[in-house]
Amino acid sequence: MTPTQARMPVPRLTRRVFLGGLALAPAPIRIIDTHTHFYDPTRPQGVPWPPKNDAVLYQPTLPERYRKLTQALGVTGTVVVEASPWLEDNQWVLDLARDNPIIIGLVGNLRPGTPEFKQHLARFSKNRLFLGIRVNGGMLAMGVAQQEFIEDLKRLAGAGLELDVVGGPSMFSDLVRLTDRLSNLRIVIDHLPSNPPKDGSALRELGGRPSVYAKVSGVLRRIDGRVPTELSYYRQALDELWDVFGPDRLLYGSNWPVSDKLAPYHAVLEIVMQYFSSKGESAMEKYFRKNSAAAYRWGDRG
């Protein structure tokens, strides 16, 4: 994308346009997608993920392809979440972002609790597009009891950066323990709604902590051999998230291109568009844009 293209008006998505003619037509919605992965298996060093035998994912997945896929849907920016454990792939995405303004930030892949974390954090946080890091549930479970891990997350919070976490319902209690110790660390829980925990008290506790956000990037499910695209299949799970986190701490994320394994991008978006349109204009603006600005502190690149 050239600088001139980046400044061109972007088509915006409304309930009337997207849902085919509802009676109410609100102000246009500008969408920030807080969960994508970019990579290129054809580069000389290859990629550690996805595997070569994954016919859907193992292909160049770069900003131009994403932009063509989403520009008519009102998507104006994306936060990339680094899936690669290779240190220099953090820099690879930051370099990619330099020439692609649709990338408004990177959630990097660094390992807190290791001797080199402080150095790596200092290096990457100099770039304003570096917004935070992601850890998985296993790393969190081991680290929350280790002082080195906690000290590194204090550094993260002190730098004004956030923490993405991904894992099953068992990690919610670990997140409660973490937020007990680091109440000022902004945390985004990825790929909700997950399978509901047997005891939902930990998730409800997190819902009461203002620094914790829920990324609604795992809505669609394969049910009896197919992936329903009707909202009725997912409404209860979305209602539960709404009841816990309310209108101010839910974020839109597509999980593209992994989402392609379930449904096309527009179908993934349509489910949440239908749901949040029923909550009113303000809730839509918050879910699709404003809440992610609060969680990630991204800035417009226009």
Closest CA to 284 of 276, 295, 292, 293: 276
Contact 101, 1 (CB under 8 A): yes
Closest CA to 70 of 23, 17, 115, 10: 10
| pLDDT confidence of residue 28 | 55
Beta strands 130-136 and 103-108, pairing class: parallel
Beta bridge mates, 125: none
User: CA 67 to CA 80: how far, in whole Å?
Assistant: 13
Phi-psi region of 132 (alpha: psi -120 to 50; beta: other; left: phi over 0): left
> Is domain 27-296 classified as CATH 3.20.20.140?
yes
Q: Where are the alpha helices (DSSP H) in 39-146?
A: 63-70, 88-98, 117-124, 137-143
Beta strands 75-81 and 31-36, pairing class: parallel
| pLDDT confidence of residue 2 | 37
Q: Which helix (H) or strand (E) holds 277?
A: helix 265-277
| pLDDT confidence of residue 21 | 35
Length of the chain in terms of residues written: 302
| pLDDT confidence of residue 29 | 80
Per-residue pLDDT of the chain (302 residues; tens, 9 = 90+): 333 333 334 334 444 444 443 333 343 589 999 999 999 999 999 999 999 999 999 999 999 999 999 989 999 999 999 999 999 999 999 999 999 999 999 999 999 999 999 999 999 999 999 999 999 999 999 999 999 999 999 999 999 999 999 999 989 999 999 999 999 999 999 999 977 677 789 999 999 999 999 999 999 999 999 999 999 999 999 999 999 999 999 999 999 999 999 999 999 999 999 999 999 999 999 999 999 999 999 998 86
| pLDDT confidence of residue 7 | 39
Cis peptide before 210, with omega less than 30 degrees from 0? no
The CA–CA distances, whole Å, from 39 to 102, 151, 211 equal 15, 31, 30
User: CA 139 to CA 122: how far, in whole Å?
Assistant: 21
| pLDDT confidence of residue 5 | 38
Residues 6+ away with beta carbon under 8 Å from 254: 33, 35, 36, 217, 265, 268, 269
